[in-house]
Amino acid sequence: MSQKFKLLKGEILFDDDKIIIKDDAKKQKWMTAFLILLPSIYAIRIFVKSYQTGDQFDFWYGLILGSLGIIFLPMVLLKSVRSEIPMKEVELMKVKQRFGNKFLVIKLKYNRLRKVDDMENADALEQYIKTNFHIK
């Protein structure tokens, strides 16, 4: 028994023993990582430069922005972008809403997350998950 749900740019296919997701999550992950890494490198450069100039603003600006980059970059890189997920690895599936956007969160083993954005019919997907899967 397989069921297909449309995304704005792709689709999700629930097969008997796996979930197949076709979206542009891999591209989004690397774009986000790049957009975090670039200012972080700049901030670390400013932080190191503040020791030569003695400027307190550069010191704190570089320290805070560089620290935020170091904290958020691993969070972005640890998100899963796998397009094929076996059902035995799924611990939790839930449709969530944040800022008016509904998305599917699939929690995998080993604390990995797979997030699927831009759902067209999130209510039908939520109902399908509740009726067909005995996952939390």
Instruction: Provide the domain limits for residue 57.
Output: 30-77
42 and 63 in a single domain? The answer is yes
Average pLDDT along the chain: 85
pLDDT band of residue 134 (cuts 50, 70, 90) is low
Residue 102 sits in a domain of what CATH number? 2.30.29.30
Tell me the mean pLDDT in the region 72-84.
86
Tell me the mean pLDDT in the region 29-56.
91
Q: Which residues contact 55 (CB under 8 A, 6 or more apart)?
A: none
Model confidence over 34-45: pLDDT tens digits? 999 999 999 989
What pLDDT was estimated at residue 1?
63
61 and 88 in a single domain? The answer is no
Q: In the chain, pLDDT over 90 holds for what percent of residues?
A: 17
Residue 119 DSSP symbol:
B
H/E stretch holding 101 reads strand 101-108
What pLDDT was estimated at residue 135?
59
Q: Which residue intervals of 54-120 are DSSP H helices?
A: 56-77
90 and 117 in a single domain? The answer is yes
Name which residue leads in pLDDT, 40 or 123. Answer: 40
What is the distance between the alpha carbons of residues 61 and 86, in angstroms, rounded to a whole number? 44
